[in-house]
Structure 1
């Protein structure tokens, strides 16, 4: 990497970390930056996973009370997330760069649409939910979301919130706590798989991670001043532009 590459990766990490702290969607900035400096697509995706992992894990420290109250839900759903994340990460490990390159615009489009539809999707599920969701259906939803998270992961939080709404977890703080716990499970297993298989570009990943840490702190400070809806609109525009570009 030359100096310009490092500056680009750190800047992408700062923007991505700030976005994640305020509204989400940081992957839309870090993943293309890794591709731009020459990291192969599959390796870039795996490197993105390791650069955002600390944020998920660290957030659990602030949700200890909520997690204790939701211990039963975490225990019952954990097997589906463990299995799904392992399958998703394994699928990425065996996907060649040629195939993954063809999938990039469709994965970005899917993530962008999920990100855009997040609030409405949650409201729609609340309005349509009736009665208790069968255990097999909850397991299937958890498994599918975990496979997606282990394979690509952008907009994973939106899918997790939708699933938690479906099973009746309406308290926002507790839903956020459980979401971050499941995201930590998925990202931890994915990262472990990628490290074992040797899919991480450590140099570029370190630059992105350094920027993401700074961006996360900056985003937390700016959260009072930046409208999440405006930032969401900007992230959606970036996601659509990237989809068109990679198409």
Structure 2
């Protein structure tokens, strides 16, 4: 990779990690940087899944005490998420870059709108038993969300947290723990499919994964000093810029 592209991707990984730690939406940053570096959209989307996986894993581990209370009941949702992610990632592989490029700006607009609405979509605490993790409605909604996550991960976390809030019992932290657990499953399946299809740009991934880890650590410092609304505004502006970029160059 050219030196300037390497610097761009390293900084994007760092910013992505920091943004995820504060407000979420780091996929917009990594996808956008790879697009500007000339990486085809399918490879950029697939590689973004790789860059986000470490964060999903560490977030899941941070919630381990919560997960231990419901993981057996969540196995069905994990299996459904795996099947949905497999379907979504296979759909992406079935497309060529020109076809996917036409879809990207519309996907970005939808994901940006969803992310912008995130504060109003946060789940409200509700009573109920942990058995609701296996409900039919919850399973169906999670399957659809997993298809989207396997196909195009931007905004997946917001979408999943909102849908879990409508279909599952428990407080915010329990729902967030479940969301992180399912995100690991979705990302792992998608990465496996993308790797087998040879569409992951491993060079950029190797640059952004460690810088993303550094950014995640720095995000704790940022969260104490920068309003979350300002970070969310930055992510939304990035999503709008990328949509305009893809409309203009499509």
TM-score bracket, normalised by the shorter chain, equals over 0.9
Alignment gaps of 5+ in structure 2: 127-131
Q: TM-score, normalised by structure 2?
A: 0.91
Q: Could you report, residue by residue, the CA deviation over 1:154-206 in whole angstroms, capped at 9, with x for unpaired residues?
A: 11111111121112334121111111000000001001111111111111111
In the alignment, what sits opposite 2:91? 91
Moved over 2 A (4+): 132-137
In the alignment, what sits opposite 1:216? 216
In the alignment, what sits opposite 1:140? 140
Whether contact under 8 Å (1:133, 1:166) holds in the other structure is: no
Q: Distance in 1 between matches of 2:205 and 2:133?
A: 40
Whether contact under 8 Å (1:13, 1:208) holds in the other structure is: yes
Whether contact under 8 Å (2:16, 2:29) holds in the other structure is: yes
- How far does residue 48 in structure 1 lie from its aligned partner after superposition? 0.7
Q: TM-score, normalised by structure 1?
A: 0.92
Q: Does 2:182 align with 1:185?
A: no
Indicate the SS of the match to 2:25: coil
Q: Distance in 1 between matches of 2:97 and 2:236?
A: 26
In the alignment, what sits opposite 1:118? 118
- How far does residue 133 in structure 1 lie from its aligned partner after superposition? 9.9
Q: Could you report, residue by residue, the CA deviation over 1:104-158 in whole angstroms, capped at 9, with x for unpaired residues?
A: 10111111011011121236x879xxxx799332222011000000010111111
Q: Could you report, residue by residue, the CA deviation over 1:27-81 in whole angstroms, capped at 9, with x for unpaired residues?
A: 1111111112221111111011111111101222211110011224412312211
Q: How many residues were matched structurally? A: 242
In the alignment, what sits opposite 1:236? 236
In the alignment, what sits opposite 2:246? 246
Q: Distance in 2 between matches of 1:135 and 1:180?
A: 19
In the alignment, what sits opposite 1:151? 151
Q: Does 2:83 align with 1:79?
A: no
In the alignment, what sits opposite 1:61? 61
What RMSD over aligned residues (CA atoms) do the two structures have, in Å?
Answer: 1.9
- How far does residue 234 in structure 1 lie from its aligned partner after superposition? 1.8
Alignment gaps of 5+ in structure 1: none
